[in-house]
Structure 1
């Protein structure tokens, strides 16, 4: 039984991670990403201050247009680590492109499940290689 529950958690977290990256590559990611965040969430992007709901600038302010993180991306070597039935972490390598610029890095998102059953971001981190 535990195996099937963990598989479902892995599938849910992979779907949430894809939704996060779809938002990151949209023209206006702030509103969608804010909805995906736990109220204590921290977002760590390269060459930026740590963002959270109450930071200056806030997540919504920092990610508003013309923020356009990447035009396309590919996640490789994706691992989902089930911490417990209410938390998990997704780690991966990132290959991404913006215009002619190519980026390679690593990423990680830790998710927690709220009392409403929704998975929300606790910490998202990207590191350029």
Structure 2
């Protein structure tokens, strides 16, 4: 039987993949919003810090074709368990669309609510 920490690591990796699947989709805002804690901060290269305080600003910032890629790959993934209800995922990401390539480092801090759902508290990407 996997340990509690192993289950948390698996949950966080699955959530991070869900985030990137949403970020690279045709219309990322609705799916990303569902993954976020109401207090979340999202920091993308060359953009202001996004929050959920103003929903229309959030949706405008993530409107298509934001991060629209054909595929992505997470490398050098490290999952840090902060406690049983919080963790961070750090990695390098490579995403492609046709001949265009996006390379960055990423970090997402996740917290688990009383309902058992993991939500994003902070996400950031830095171009390589």
Shared fold (TM-score greater than 0.5)? Answer: yes
8 Å contact from structure 1 (residues 25, 68) kept in 2: yes
Other-structure match for 2:53: 54
Other-structure match for 1:120: 119
8 Å contact from structure 2 (residues 22, 31) kept in 1: yes
Q: What RMSD in Å do the two structures reach over aligned CA positions?
A: 1.8
Tell me how far apart the structure 2 counterparts of residues 114 and 56 of structure 1 sit (CA, whole Å).
21
Trace 1:13-92 onto structure 2 (pairs within 5 A): 13-55=12-54, 58-92=57-91
**Helix, strand or coil at the partner of 2:108:** strand
1:102 Cα deviation from its structure 2 partner: 1.3
Runs of 4+, deviation exceeding 6 Å:
none
1:59 Cα deviation from its structure 2 partner: 2.1
Tell me how far apart the structure 1 counterparts of residues 117 and 93 of structure 2 sit (CA, whole Å).
25
The 1:66–1:76 alpha-carbon spacing in structure 2 relative to 1, beyond 3 Å, is: closer
Other-structure match for 2:97: 98
Tell me how far apart the structure 2 counterparts of residues 103 and 20 of structure 1 sit (CA, whole Å).
16
1:45 Cα deviation from its structure 2 partner: 0.5
Consecutive unaligned residues in structure 2, runs of 5 or more: none
Length, aligned pairs only: 128
